[in-house]
Amino acid sequence: MLMWKLLRKNLSIPQLAGYVFAGFVGLSIILFGIQFYADTLPLYSSNDSFLNPDFLVINKKVSMLSLSSTTFDEKDVADIKKQPFVKKTGFFTSSKFGIRTTVSSSSFGGFYTEMFFESVPDDFIDVQSEDWIWSEEQNYIPIIIPRTYLTLYNFGFAQTQGLPQISENIVEKIKLNVTIYGKQKSKNFDARIVGFSDKLNTILAPESFLLWANSQFGSESTSNPSRILIETYNPSDPLIAKYFGEKNYEIADYRGNTGKAAYFLRLVIITVLLIGLIITLLAISLMLLSISLLIYKNKEKLENLILLGYSRATVAKPYQILGLTLTVVIFILAFIVVVIMQKFYIGKIAILFDNPEIETTTLFTFTVGFAILFVICAINALWIRKKVNETAK
């Protein structure tokens, strides 16, 4: 009781209030950034999200007479890979065999067409599907087509020909009969469209299938790639347009604005977290300074208490409890603010991403906040014990 009275006598309310306010602001920013990231992670970690790392599809320009090669040789590929904006590269694999597809449906009759397949590494595919797998034992081919194909059919061809418009769900249920042929042999497969790509303007089959089919039905000769996929570190890098312009390469459907938006959004989130961290660290420094000044003001009285038989741990305890109490108050206030803010923005995000069933939880944020609380309290306790020991010397 005596030590509490001693502590209260020289207590600086403005200094402690400053610590509470600064700590509250800093911790609120940190926890809000973490909560926002946790809530939106499923949205922008999905393969079809515009916030996913942007990749480019490049090819050489076709001249009027096509006298020059439009494929990339080893020297071209090596030069592209060494550019500072290139993070990862991938290549299109084209089918080197004939493909005949027939469709029979009660909705819009049947048709037959010759077509082609291409494949790319799975890292570059912007569609998630459990069916996107193929092995030699199965007689089924999963296919991905551009979403623009369906749009052109529904709002172009179907309307002018009096045919019914169809949704993605219906298209995915249509069974295709695919015959591949070459080298004087053929083989029949069942096939189905399992997804729609927003980034790849081609008809995709699994890379494992295409490599096998090319070896069994295609030409034996290997050819250089005619198109290259490039994942960039920063889609807004001006070196991208400059380099490909100098090389006379074309960038298919370059989404520079989308890439810039995604890049700057990530940058904003990181910046907000750093600002919150800096404010929190300044608040901790303010509290440590305030308690140091408080201990210094009571130096003579603390020395007398130790001479009277009080242990250093007992003398330090009131200051440690004060720091713990203030920090817990800060954590509770910051967490309440985060929960309120989450209720405010979650509905708007659901509308923006057309996803009314966003799963949210504050458990991760609470865990991180509690960890920060523990670290701050540990720093306070150790600092106070150190200052009390120095005072008692």
Domain boundaries, the chain: 2-47+260-391, 55-256
* Structure confidence at residue 256 (pLDDT): 53
Report residue 226: phi and psi, to 5°.
-95, -15
**Distance between CA atoms of residues 140 and 117, nearest Å:** 14
The residue among 163 and 236 whose pLDDT is bigger is 163
Yes or no: say if 6 and 315 are a contact pair by the CB < 8 Å rule. Answer: no
Instruction: Tell me what the mean pLDDT of segment 213-224 comes to.
Output: 79
* Structure confidence at residue 294 (pLDDT): 72
Query: pLDDT band at residue 359, thresholds of 50, 70 and 90?
Result: low
* Structure confidence at residue 15 (pLDDT): 73
CB burial string 243-277: b at 16+ within 10 A, e below: bbeeeebebeebbeeebeebbeeeeeeeebbeebb
* Structure confidence at residue 99 (pLDDT): 93
Q: What angle do CA 28, 338, 17 make, to 5 degrees?
A: 40
The residue among 11 and 252 whose pLDDT is bigger is 252
* Structure confidence at residue 258 (pLDDT): 54
Tell me the per-residue pLDDT of 39-74, one tens digit each, with 9 for 90 and over: 776 655 454 454 455 678 888 887 665 556 778 888
**Distance between CA atoms of residues 277 and 31, nearest Å:** 10
**Distance between CA atoms of residues 117 and 209, nearest Å:** 10
Q: Which of 47-61, 87-101, 230-244 has the lowest mean pLDDT?
A: 47-61
The residue among 51 and 19 whose pLDDT is bigger is 19
Tell me the per-residue pLDDT of 269-281, one tens digit each, with 9 for 90 and over: 788 888 888 888 8
> What is the rounded (10 degree) CA torsion for 68, 70, 74, 76?
90
Q: How far is CA 164 from the centre of its chain?
A: 38
Query: pLDDT band at residue 191, thresholds of 50, 70 and 90?
Result: very high
Yes or no: say if 192 and 174 are a contact pair by the CB < 8 Å rule. Answer: yes
pTM score: 0.57
Instruction: Tell me what the mean pLDDT of segment 84-110 comes to.
Output: 82
Instruction: Tell me what the mean pLDDT of segment 168-173 comes to.
Output: 86
List CB contacts of 296: < 8 A, sequence separation 6 or more: 391
* Structure confidence at residue 51 (pLDDT): 47
* Structure confidence at residue 263 (pLDDT): 63
* Structure confidence at residue 43 (pLDDT): 59
Residue 365 has pLDDT above 60, yes or no: yes
Residue 342 has pLDDT above 90, yes or no: no
Q: Which of 40-49, 122-131, 223-232 has the lowest mean pLDDT?
A: 40-49
* Structure confidence at residue 336 (pLDDT): 92
Share of the chain above pLDDT 90, in %: 15
Instruction: Tell me what the mean pLDDT of segment 303-308 comes to.
Output: 73
